[in-house]
Amino acid sequence: MRTQVGIIGAGPAGLLLCEILQRNGVDSVVFERQSRDYVLARIRAGVLEPTTVDVLRENGLATRLDAEGHVHDGARVVWAGREGFLIDVYKYCGKKFVAYGQTNLQEDLFAAADRRKARIITECEVELAGTAVRYRQGGKTAQVDCDFIAGCDGFHGVTRKSFPPGALRELEKMYPFGWLGILSEVPPLEEITYCHSERGFALASQRSAMLSRYYIQVPLDTKLEDWPDERFWQEIKARFPREWAERIVEGPSIEKSIAPLRSYVAEPMSHGRTYLAGDAAHIVPPTGAKGLNLAVSDVYYLSRAFAEYYRAGSRALLDAYSETALRRVWASVRVSWYLTMLLHRFPDANPFDVRAQEYELEFIKSSEHAQAALAEQYAGLPL
């Protein structure tokens, strides 16, 4: 078998790339290690930047999003004894966020792929030999020869590992805590709300009008079995200011997990005819809600570059892909790092560190310019 672009990974980045390439007359095959059901069952982020929504609409993938997504002006930041402030993306950037679960988007992308009978090979083990994809499925081995490889296979995938030694510069920061998150079929708070508390960070997010996602900061050695639902609800309410805590609706969890936080960037995002997109190239702490949005911007740049190559024979955009994508990546990495450092209680923080955090929050609240700058970064750079 032969194709123009071999796409490794059938998550949102891989399937979106497949869809946009098809719309530009570029052939592709998608390879996925897990089953479709496994991919669809993964619980991930659900806050879409304005540019992400634009890309989905431009490619006919926003019908359900527009019907079911919850539109927001921005995100609220609160802390005890203070009114807080809104990171007002609409006021300062003229655009809005949409809360729409990544699971829903994954379903939309699989449905679009099915409509056009896209070639998606699931439950296969992949090896890369240059631009040849050798895969094993159901005890049988086959190979697909490709012009290019697009690695959309996540942080633990095979594509980045196929780069030769010394080809990548890897930059990483590990944070000394994780997030314990639950999903519950209860009405969410009216706004996406970040909470800075002496007990640790907390976040109230949402997926739909009757599906809420809540998080609390926990030590890295935390075990799920130590956190029954009752304890979680008590703790998150203790972290939020009383007027906010009273509006949190409790309910049984339908999913519960703990995720460590890290910042990671691999530079460059390409080598030879192999290109990285999404978590294969970078990880951001979820504080800035940037992971899925960065995957979409990577795919936008990469699909445009492949389309130009096959339409005009030019490698200009392909050669510039890494530099172009990394500008947006580092902008998002920076704001995610900044919010993580600002809103969490660090285990080794001394009274000076705590007071500096508090003053920074007060400064943002009091400064129109600081709020505008934060809103611009939170909204994400234009494509």
**Residue 326: in which H helix or E strand, if any?**
helix 316-343
Catalytic site includes residue 286? yes
pLDDT of res. 195 = 96
pLDDT tens sequence across 99-158: 898 889 999 999 999 999 999 999 999 999 999 999 999 899 999 999 999 999 999 999
pLDDT tens sequence across 11-37: 999 999 999 999 999 999 999 999 999
322 CB-near residues (< 8 Å, 6+ apart): 267, 268, 269, 270, 275
CB atoms within 10 A of CB 237: 16
CA distances from 276 to 220, 261, 273 (A): 29, 21, 10
pLDDT beyond 90 at 206: no
Task: Give me the phi and psi of 221, to 5 degrees please.
Answer: -90, 10
| Catalytic residue selected from 72, 95, 196, 282 | 72
| Catalytic residue selected from 194, 215, 300, 301 | 194
Distance between CA 46 and CA 40 in Å, rounded? 14
Catalytic site includes residue 194? yes
Write the DSSP symbol of residue 189. P
Catalytic site includes residue 290? yes
Structure tokens at 195: 């909470």
Percentage of the chain lying above the pLDDT 70 cut: 99
pLDDT of res. 365 = 95
Burial 162-177 (b: 16+ CB within 10 A, else e): bbeeeebeeeeeebeb
Catalytic site includes residue 338? no
Domain 2-379: homologous superfamily in CATH: FAD/NAD(P)-binding domain (3.50.50.60)
Q: Mean pLDDT, to the nearest integer, of 201-218? A: 91
CB atoms within 10 A of CB 312: 10
| Catalytic residue selected from 70, 282, 290, 344 | 290
pLDDT band at 41, cuts 50/70/90?
A: confident
Which residues are bridge partners to 212 per DSSP?
A: 184, 206
CB 364 within 8 A of CB 371: yes
pLDDT of res. 58 = 97
pLDDT of res. 44 = 73
| Catalytic residue selected from 286, 301, 321, 344 | 286
